[in-house]
């Protein structure tokens, strides 16, 4: 539809601040990541602001913006994740992301995003949904719990979105009692902890919102798009924007993801005629929330290997452009998102490759508008 093939590689939360254990360098700067450096060698590393004023940093904010949309689609994380999970919302309904969180014996938040198996997540969600007490309070409020694989659960309901809790990844170590919501949600959280205490879990509802209206990506940019991601919020964004978002077997959103399968799916989409493909890797963000520095470095290395394998496959195309970006900052020292600018670059196979350049955060570069990376990749500016 739109001409030369364009691929955008997104390392979720891989941007960071200086880390003491790395001698004051960021994980990206510490490296080495030769394939990322190859992409950056042509255009150099530029910086972009992906967290507009008045918004909290996170994937649900940054990903729609770097996909070429504006703040009018930022209506909350819940409805976007619901679309990615296949949970349909009727007109006037809200959706609210609900984490299964790990809590210690004193009800302090130990892990915001515990690595639960699909079976463990479904079992916990079904236990909650089947409980007579929870059913009664949800029915009374006009809400419904949708059990899901893993730690990400979904709550939907009629009427305006309720005020949920602060995103759990921003309050690691906090006491559950200090962040309880009001009304039916408080009862839901309290009862959920009682039911899940033996497994060390609790529930944490947040990110409520109503379905946003996206202009179809093909209409907006004249390109047929596909997004390859393991996480519902990114797949949901793609589906709401009219892009394809296949579920790749073995893609988990963790360090144990089948990254080769994700690269293969990216190339398959390109060969099938998609002229814009986004390849998203969740693992750097996942490790950052766990404050796992070795894990974050392995995750970025995984992205580097993915990039190398992808470039090998793209060599069979007559021409292509490849962009690279971190959607937002996630501090591996604090486990929290940050609103600092993120690095990005664009590579064009038809131009001289240049000298490999470390792909990392730059304090000396101006922070460009969030639209700059995609517009540059699509040669719109």
In this prediction, residue 169 carries a pLDDT of: 87
CA angle 321/366/56 to nearest 5° reads: 90
pLDDT band at 381 (very low <50, low <70, confident <90, very high): low
Whether residue 77 is predicted with pLDDT greater than 90 in this model: the reply is: yes
Whether residue 164 is predicted with pLDDT greater than 90 in this model: the reply is: no
Q: Percent of the chain at pLDDT above 70?
A: 99
- On average, the pLDDT of the chain sits at 95
User: What pTM was estimated for this model as a whole?
Assistant: 0.93
How far apart (Å, rounded) are the C-alpha atoms in residues 178 and 1? 52
C-alpha torsion angle, residues 72, 78, 82, 88 (rounded to 10) = -80
Asked if 281 and 12 count as a contact pair (C-beta separation under 8 A), the reply is yes
| Residue 101, strand partner residues | 202
Whether residue 1 is predicted with pLDDT greater than 70 in this model: the reply is: no
HEC letters along 236-304:
HHHHHCCCECCCCCCCCCCCCCCHHHHHHHHHHHHHCCCCEEEEEECHHHHHHHCCCHHHHHHHHHHHH
What angle in degrees, to the nearest 10, is found between the helix axes of 259-271 and 293-314? Answer: 30
> Where in the chain is CATH 3.40.720.10?
5-74+213-377
pLDDT digits (tens, 9 = 90+) for 46-71: 999 999 999 999 999 999 999 999 99
3-state secondary structure of 99: strand
How far apart (Å, rounded) are the C-alpha atoms in residues 310 and 21? 31
pLDDT digits (tens, 9 = 90+) for 225-246: 999 999 999 999 999 999 999 9
Kindly indicate whether the domain formed by 5-74+213-377 is annotated with CATH number 3.40.720.10. Answer: yes
Establish how many alpha carbons lie within 13 A of residue 181's alpha carbon, considering only the half-sphere containing its beta carbon: 22
Asked if 257 and 305 count as a contact pair (C-beta separation under 8 A), the reply is no
How far apart (Å, rounded) are the C-alpha atoms in residues 282 and 131? 33
Whether residue 294 is predicted with pLDDT greater than 60 in this model: the reply is: yes
In this prediction, residue 245 carries a pLDDT of: 97
In this prediction, residue 312 carries a pLDDT of: 98
Nearest by Cα to 293 from 335, 237, 264: 335
DSSP state of 165: P
Whether residue 2 is predicted with pLDDT greater than 80 in this model: the reply is: no
In this prediction, residue 172 carries a pLDDT of: 83
pLDDT digits (tens, 9 = 90+) for 336-373: 999 999 999 999 999 999 999 999 999 999 999 999 99
In this prediction, residue 3 carries a pLDDT of: 80
In this prediction, residue 380 carries a pLDDT of: 81
In this prediction, residue 273 carries a pLDDT of: 95
How far apart (Å, rounded) are the C-alpha atoms in residues 278 and 353? 22
How far apart (Å, rounded) are the C-alpha atoms in residues 50 and 65? 7
Whether residue 111 is predicted with pLDDT greater than 80 in this model: the reply is: yes
Query: Would strands 152-158 and 143-146 be described as parallel, antiparallel, or unpaired?
Result: antiparallel
| Residue 206, strand partner residues | 97
């Amino acid at each position: 539809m739109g001409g030369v093939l364009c691929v955008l590689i997104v390392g979720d939360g891989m941007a960071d601040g200086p880390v003491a254990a790395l001698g004051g360098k960021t994980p990206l700067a510490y490296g080495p990541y030769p394939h990322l450096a190859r992409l950056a060698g042509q255009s150099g590393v530029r910086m972009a602001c992906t967290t507009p004023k008045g918004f909290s940093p996170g994937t649900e904010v940054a990903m729609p913006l770097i996909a070429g949309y504006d703040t009018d689609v930022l209506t909350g994380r819940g409805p976007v994740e619901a679309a990615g999970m296949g949970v349909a919302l009727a007109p006037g309904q809200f959706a609210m992301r609900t984490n299964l969180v790990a809590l210690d014996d004193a009800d302090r938040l130990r892990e915001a995003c515990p690595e639960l198996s699909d079976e463990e997540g479904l079992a916990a969600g079904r236990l909650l949904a089947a409980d007579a007490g929870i059913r009664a309070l949800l029915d009374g409020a006009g809400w419904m719990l949708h059990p899901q694989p893993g730690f990400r659960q979904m709550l939907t309901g009629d009427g305006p979105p309720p005020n949920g809790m602060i995103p759990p990844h921003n309050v690691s170590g906090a006491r559950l009692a200090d962040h309880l919501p009001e009304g039916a949600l408080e009862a839901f959280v309290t009862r959920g902890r009682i039911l899940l205490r033996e497994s060390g879990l609790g529930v944490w509802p947040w990110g409520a919102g109503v379905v946003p209206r996206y202009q179809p990506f093909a209409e907006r940019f004249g390109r047929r798009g596909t997004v390859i991601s393991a996480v519902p919020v990114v797949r949901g964004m793609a589906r709401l924007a009219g892009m394809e978002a296949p579920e790749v077997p073995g893609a988990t959103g963790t360090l144990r993801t089948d990254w080769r399968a994700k690269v293969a799916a990216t190339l398959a989409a390109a060969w099938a005629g998609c002229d814009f493909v986004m390849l998203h890797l969740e693992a750097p963000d996942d490790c950052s929330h766990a404050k796992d520095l070795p894990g974050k470095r392995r995750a970025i290395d995984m992205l580097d290997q993915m990039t190398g394998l992808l470039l090998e496959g793209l060599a069979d195309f007559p021409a292509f452009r490849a962009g690279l970006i971190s959607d937002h900052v996630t501090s591996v020292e604090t486990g929290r998102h940050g609103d600092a600018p993120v690095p990005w670059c664009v590579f064009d196979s038809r131009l001289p490759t240049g000298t490999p350049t470390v792909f990392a955060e730059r304090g000396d570069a101006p922070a460009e508008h969030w639209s700059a990376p995609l517009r540059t990749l699509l040669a719109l500016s």
